[in-house]
Structure 1
Amino acid sequence: MDPTTTPASPTIPMKISDGLTRRDFVSRSAVAAAGGLLAIPGWVGAQAPTKKIRVGIVGGRFGLSFQFHEHPDCIVEAVSDLIPDRRAALQKTYKCEKAYDSLEELVKDPKVEAVALFTPVPDHVRHTLLCLAAGKHVLCAVPVAMTLDECQQLTDAVKKTGLTYMMAETSHWQQLTISARKFHQEGAFGNLYYTESEYHHPGLEELYFNKDGSRTWRHGIAPMQYPTHCTSHLISVTGERLTEVTCHGWGDDHPILKDNIYKNPFWNETAMFKTNRGNSMRVAIWWRGAQTGGERARFYGDKMSFYYNGPNGAPACTVRTQAKTEKDSGGFVRSAQVMEKYDEVHWWKTDMLPEPMRHNSGHEGSHCFITHEFIDALVKQRKPAVDLYEAIAYTAPGIVAHQSALKGGESMKIPQFDPT
């Protein structure tokens, strides 16, 4: 079986009967399918695990926004950050008495079974390898790596250790992405031939400098080095892989683009990808300009299309083809289309999560799902939805896309790391 042509996780077919109410649909489907791909089993009726997972949390900024202390199968054993104030904030948030000055000290703790890494991007691979070498499972913030060589290093390490790696990709668990997975699973799209995703985030420059004026890891990083919020929109829905890309970048004479450790000349990068199924995906990661921010996607099928909330404030909606016809402004006959507002389902209110975690959370409700998926995968000794190969499938296309942009939009092949 070729893993590049199959979904990352098993799927469960599910039909919606004509008489099924919206309330019935939500309550039944939450247990039957974790947004379409069975990544999180229904919580109701689940047997209590024989043990709790003891986690160490590293990184006192982004790391403050997760729910390990609320999960019934988890104990926050220790926390760590190099900065004392952030270390104290972690202790307060997770009600944890044990704190270490560094990750290097934390991984020596024999009680810590798994580490949640929310550290700077350039440190992700080094820190992950350190945890794996110490026998710890890893949840890591995005992206998985910054180079293709680093992707291979992690692949080798995970194979060697047999430990669990999961990437904390938020777009995978956006409420609308869970709905998109369900639409795809049910065949609602028909042939899903084109997807586009945007990560528009003007104003990031304030994160490029520390309070003392020194540069942070974000200073000048290329947009396509941070692609996973977009690429996951398609890959997590269909299981496709991105195989070819041409990308163009835009920059100006700003000092940040003239002097950064990444030698990156672009604020914005726009890529067109081809998938292993012959479909297309456009990814636009723009960090400067007159634009509204957001992480959003649009899925185009021959039976139905699905648009997330638009940049102009338009609500999420579906577009469906009809058997009847209409005439367009030029007088030509075409299939009639019906556009309907889509009332977003709050999947975090359902049995997809343990009861203490059924509340909204960061990045459009995704943080509780990320927390639960990691812990539940360890408890049940199963593969997490965003395992290493899925994480690389989200990340590697952006690495190659940036190289394409540096070469003026040259078409380039994207290597695949999935096991054969």
Structure 2
Amino acid sequence: MKSSTSTDRPSRRQFLATIAAGAAAGIVPIGNAAATPGKKVRLGIAGGRFGATFHWHEHPQCEVAAVTDLIPERRAHLVKTYRCDKSYASLEEMVKDPNLDAIAVFTDGPKHYEHAVLALKHGKHVISAVPAVMAATVAEALDQAHSLEETARKSGLTYMMAETSYYQDFTISARKFYEDGTLGSMVSCESEYLHPGLRVLYGSADKPTWRYGVPPMFYPTHCTAHLVSVTKERLVEVTCSGWGNDHPVCKKNAFGNNPYWNETAHFRSDRGTPFPVRIWWEGPVWGRESANWYGSKMSFAANPGQGHAIWQPGKEQGHDDAGFPLVAAKLTPYEQPDWWKTDLLPEPLRHNSGHHGSHTFLTHEFIDALANTRRPTVDLYEALAYTVPGIIAHQSALKGGESLKIPQFTRPA
């Protein structure tokens, strides 16, 4: 898709400086934040549940200037959390505030597209919770993706998706291993997002919440980011299978009567990398977000709660239990650095935060990108590269595992 150049793209000098100083970690060094001393981004926050878990008020270049939530108690929680004295009864009112530079959209999943487009059309930069788009059907979700791309491109404003997996401590480590050549070439990657227990947030058949019956692959970004953000390859083809049962959730819901609790996909990238992904809402499994990166020189396993490890080629040949020759890889426990303790963040944000340390990074990345007029890491095209493959994966599951091509959204040159 051809798009015009947006005003948030970095200059050549900014781009080269960013690559040289921060490519391995995938973040812009704090030194860049000093480029425009005293400049503050005036931010409005929508969504008093997840939206209250970030750290905008701690960033030296951000002022939380307004908040909103439809529920008064949540709105009051935002006011207290961010020490903000201006609140609105709705996002529709807040986007009209001429004093706001940007809007943080942390509303219900199916509302992200609508609210992001609304903010962009009112001249506001946007950071949105995941996923970028979510609709009742595959066709509608794809229409939203095209519409969001067109709206953001025409506006010339910044859109960023707050994908936590990009800035998980272990994903930063994987990106460093890949960038410095420690992994070698990527042989394969696998990722899983297992979250049993979400049913408590579904409501009931009579009073469903937005989560009631949501297809797992409509919420793919916590997994797809594990490959795409590390190597920058794109997912181009998928086959997927689903599992469901006779529960009412799987029989009648707002997502085309999605029949699946769990979906398991096998993606292929534009470099031919195989990438299996599991997103499960039900089953006797340990809830987690985890990933394994298999390289030609080394492999890295990230399993929060169970320990991280690296495998390197073994030298001693043994035999398996059937007597066949076997060279076992050398296993070494990996002591995961707390990247949030480093100068990759401004000093006020160097503390642990939600989703494996990612919330402070997301806070800094959006604000710093706006303050310094550069493209954020998880920009519109990165966001669609994480989101759209899951939409097509669900379509594959509905078609009995048919192999399907994934539409590509290409960033302007």
TM over 0.5: yes
Deviation at 1:32, TM superposition (A): 3.6
Q: Which amino acid aligns with 2:166?
A: H
- For 2:333 and 2:22, the matched residues in 1 are separated by 23
- For 1:384 and 1:247, the matched residues in 2 are separated by 31
Query: Which residue of structure 1 lines up, in the alignment, with residue 25 of structure 2?
Result: 36
Asked whether 1:157 is paired with 2:151, we answer: yes
- For 1:13 and 1:338, the matched residues in 2 are separated by 35
Segments of 5+ residues of structure 2 without an aligned counterpart are 4-8, 135-140
Deviation at 1:235, TM superposition (A): 0.5
- For 1:85 and 1:67, the matched residues in 2 are separated by 20
Q: Against the structure 1 CA distance between its residues 386 and 44, is the aligned structure 2 distance closer, same or farther, given a 3 Å change threshold?
A: closer
Asked whether 1:216 is paired with 2:209, we answer: yes
Deviation at 1:125, TM superposition (A): 1.0
Deviation at 1:43, TM superposition (A): 4.0
Q: Which amino acid aligns with 1:36?
A: A
Could you tell me which of 381, 392, 417 is aligned with 2:409? Answer: 417
Q: Against the structure 1 CA distance between its residues 45 and 113, is the aligned structure 2 distance closer, same or farther, given a 3 Å change threshold?
A: closer
Deviation at 1:40, TM superposition (A): 1.7
Deviation at 1:33, TM superposition (A): 2.5
Partner of 2:34, secondary structure, is: coil
Q: Is the 8 A contact 1:107 1:131 kept in 2?
A: yes
After superposing on structure 2, the runs of 4+ consecutive aligned residues of structure 1 that deviate more than 2 Å are 8-14, 31-37, 42-50, 330-336
Q: Which amino acid aligns with 1:369?
A: F
Query: Which residue of structure 2 lines up, in the alignment, with residue 239 of structure 1?
Result: 232
Query: Which residue of structure 1 lines up, in the alignment, with residue 222 of structure 2?
Result: 229
Q: Deviations over 1:323-363 (max 9, x none)?
A: x3412224444545211000011000000111001000011
- For 1:13 and 1:96, the matched residues in 2 are separated by 33
Query: Which residue of structure 1 lines up, in the alignment, with residue 71 of structure 2?
Result: 83
Q: Which amino acid aligns with 2:290?
A: R
- For 1:309 and 1:12, the matched residues in 2 are separated by 33
- For 1:85 and 1:213, the matched residues in 2 are separated by 24
Deviation at 1:373, TM superposition (A): 0.3
- For 1:110 and 1:71, the matched residues in 2 are separated by 22
Q: Deviations over 1:80-125 (max 9, x none)?
A: 0011100000000000000000111111111110000000111111
- For 2:378 and 2:310, the matched residues in 1 are separated by 27
Q: Deviations over 1:221-259 (max 9, x none)?
A: 000000000000100000010000000000000011111
Asked whether 1:300 is paired with 2:288, we answer: no
Taking structure 2 as the reference length, what is the TM-score of the superposition? 0.91
- For 1:35 and 1:368, the matched residues in 2 are separated by 18
Partner of 1:371, secondary structure, is: helix
Asked whether 1:375 is paired with 2:363, we answer: no
Deviation at 1:285, TM superposition (A): 0.2
Q: Is the 8 A contact 2:318 2:325 kept in 1?
A: yes
- For 2:254 and 2:306, the matched residues in 1 are separated by 39
Could you tell me which of 81, 91, 95 is aligned with 1:93? Answer: 81
How many residue pairs end up in the alignment? 394
Segments of 5+ residues of structure 1 without an aligned counterpart are 15-30
Could you tell me which of 40, 45, 54 is aligned with 1:52? Answer: 40
Alignment identity in percent? 55
Asked whether 1:126 is paired with 2:119, we answer: no
Deviation at 1:214, TM superposition (A): 1.9
Q: Is the 8 A contact 2:24 2:179 kept in 1?
A: no
Asked whether 1:351 is paired with 2:339, we answer: no
Q: Is the 8 A contact 1:35 1:177 kept in 2?
A: no
Q: Is the 8 A contact 2:238 2:403 kept in 1?
A: yes
Q: Is the 8 A contact 2:131 2:387 kept in 1?
A: yes
Q: Deviations over 1:46-88 (max 9, x none)?
A: 3453410000000000001000000000000000001110000
